[in-house]
């Protein structure tokens, strides 16, 4: 399967042309505040990997009750009336997914040792995809009724390799995943990884992957962004590659850029869950943008079960908001087909894009009648105008009608 051939639908990002539009002074991965209705809440930062001597991620004591900006950007509240991802299996190939995370409880199928998520990144990603709504909290996953398949694609500290990602993709496909979310963005591919991507395509599993690696927890002030380049498996044919954007629709300063990318989605300073507890974290990176896209793919696969993986990818791209890199629109991906059935069983009619023109079967007669009406209307306007100007002037000069 070749979802987006390089020569046609897949966009090639020219650094000299696109960089000025995408780069801005946005929030980097640092402690951030979530603003909204009510008091400001500061959330701890979640990283994508841990140092060898670092402790596992601890539970957050901060709860984000305000509506995250990314929910507004994707119009998730409107999308939910069409689909919630029911019946779709989304594999998360990452650091693992905690099966005890409260908002994912009962919907995580663990493969091997992937139920132990020391880093917390995989659980964060799974939460973006499918976290259930919680009373009093605005945050929830894109597809809260989807099933998560937890697959380890890194070592226990969060370091990926081509072999571990390839193995994770194959395990996910064998487990029946409809969508495979891959957080890793590797500087090179391998025969084994290419074969795993092809294996997913043959089994109609859509791979959604980060177009670039997530930013490190510490960035040198003097460092500059390297030239654009591709990363894998995002750059492989048949993979939907996703780039991260901030609340302004821009990229962080000195952010990495790929050569090829399919979509952009929220991924800077986004809210998510941790591997334990009811608190929230904040994170940044293309892996999080990929998670939002994978969740949207689950919505589409649930709403349109007859679509192939390739057709789902094409739908996400074709309904995206046009920009330098097209921006994901979850609502448009679901509502762009007429007469879609909502989750409550009612029908939501989407307005026709065509304009209804009048019947022209009696065209000549209608034309003549129209011309007559128009002529009478113009004549009436001229008479009224003449009377309003000429009659007062005549009376001012002593003019009176002549009597015979």
CA distance 349 to 76: 18
β-strand pairing of 179-182 with 89-94: parallel
Whether the ω angle into residue 354 lies within 30 degrees of 0, i.e. cis, is no
The HSE-up count of residue 271 (CA atoms within 13 Å, CB side) is 29
Beta bridge partners of 41: 34
389: its two tokens = 């100007």
**Catalytic status, residue 329:** no
Kind and range of the H or E run holding 89: strand 89-94
Rg (CA), the chain: 28
**Catalytic status, residue 37:** no
88: its two tokens = 């779709």
Q: Helices in 286-362 by DSSP H: which ranges?
A: 286-303, 309-318, 330-335
Kind and range of the H or E run holding 110: strand 108-110
Number of Cβ within 10 Å of residue 360's Cβ equals: 9
Answer yes or no: are the C-beta atoms of 301 and 240 closer than 8 Å. Answer: no
Say which of 71, 83, 117, 121 is annotated catalytic: 121
Backbone angles phi, psi at 212, to 5 degrees: -140, 160
* Residue whose C-alpha is closest to residue 292's, from 74, 47, 133: 74
Give the chain's length: 404
Say which of 48, 94, 268, 284 is annotated catalytic: 94
CA distance 221 to 230: 24
* Residue whose C-alpha is closest to residue 123's, from 47, 65, 42: 47
DSSP character at residue 323: S
Say which of 287, 302, 326, 329 is annotated catalytic: 287
* Residue whose C-alpha is closest to residue 302's, from 175, 170, 93, 147: 147
**Catalytic status, residue 203:** no
Catalytic residues: 94, 121, 287
């Amino acid at each position: 399967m070749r979802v987006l051939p390089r020569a046609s639908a897949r966009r090639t990002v020219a650094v000299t042309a696109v960089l000025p539009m995408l780069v801005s002074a946005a929030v980097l991965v640092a402690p951030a505040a979530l603003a909204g209705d009510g008091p400001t809440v500061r959330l701890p930062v979640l990283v994508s990997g841990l140092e060898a001597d670092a402790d596992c991620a601890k539970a957050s004591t901060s709860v984000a009750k305000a509506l995250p900006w990314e929910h507004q950007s994707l119009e998730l509240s409107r999308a939910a009336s069409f689909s919630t991802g029911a019946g779709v299996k989304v594999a998360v190939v990452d650091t693992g997914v905690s099966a005890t995370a409260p908002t994912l409880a009962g919907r995580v199928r663990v493969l091997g040792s992937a139920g132990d998520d020391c880093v917390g990144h995989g659980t964060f990603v799974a939460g973006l995809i499918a976290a259930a709504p919680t009373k009093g909290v605005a945050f929830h996953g894109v597809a809260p009724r989807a099933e998560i398949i937890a697959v380890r694609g890194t070592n226990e500290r969060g370091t990926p390799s081509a072999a571990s990602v390839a193995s994770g993709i194959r395990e996910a496909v064998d487990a029946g995943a409809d969508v495979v979310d891959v957080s890793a963005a590797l500087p090179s591919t391998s025969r084994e990884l290419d074969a795993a991507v092809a294996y997913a395509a043959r089994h109609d599993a859509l791979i959604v992957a980060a177009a670039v690696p997530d930013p490190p927890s510490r960035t040198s002030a003097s460092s500059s962004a390297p030239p654009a380049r591709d990363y894998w498996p995002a750059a492989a044919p048949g993979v939907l590659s996703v780039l991260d954007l901030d609340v302004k629709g821009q990229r962080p300063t000195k952010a990495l850029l790929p050569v090829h990318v399919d979509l952009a989605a929220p991924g800077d300073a986004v809210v998510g869950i941790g591997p334990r507890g009811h608190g929230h974290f904040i994170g940044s990176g293309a892996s999080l943008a990929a998670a939002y896209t994978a969740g949207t793919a689950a919505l589409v696969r649930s709403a349109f079960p007859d679509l192939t993986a390739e057709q789902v990818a094409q739908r996400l791209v074709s309904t995206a908001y046009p920009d330098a890199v097209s921006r994901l629109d979850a609502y448009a991906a679901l509502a762009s087909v007429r007469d879609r059935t909502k989750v409550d069983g009612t029908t939501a009619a989407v307005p026709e894009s065509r304009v209804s023109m009048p019947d022209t079967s009696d065209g000549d007669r209608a034309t003549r009648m129209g011309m007559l009406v128009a002529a009478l209307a113009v004549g009436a306007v001229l008479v009224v105008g003449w009377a309003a100007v000429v009659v007062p002037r005549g009376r001012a000069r002593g003019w009176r009608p002549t009597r015979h």
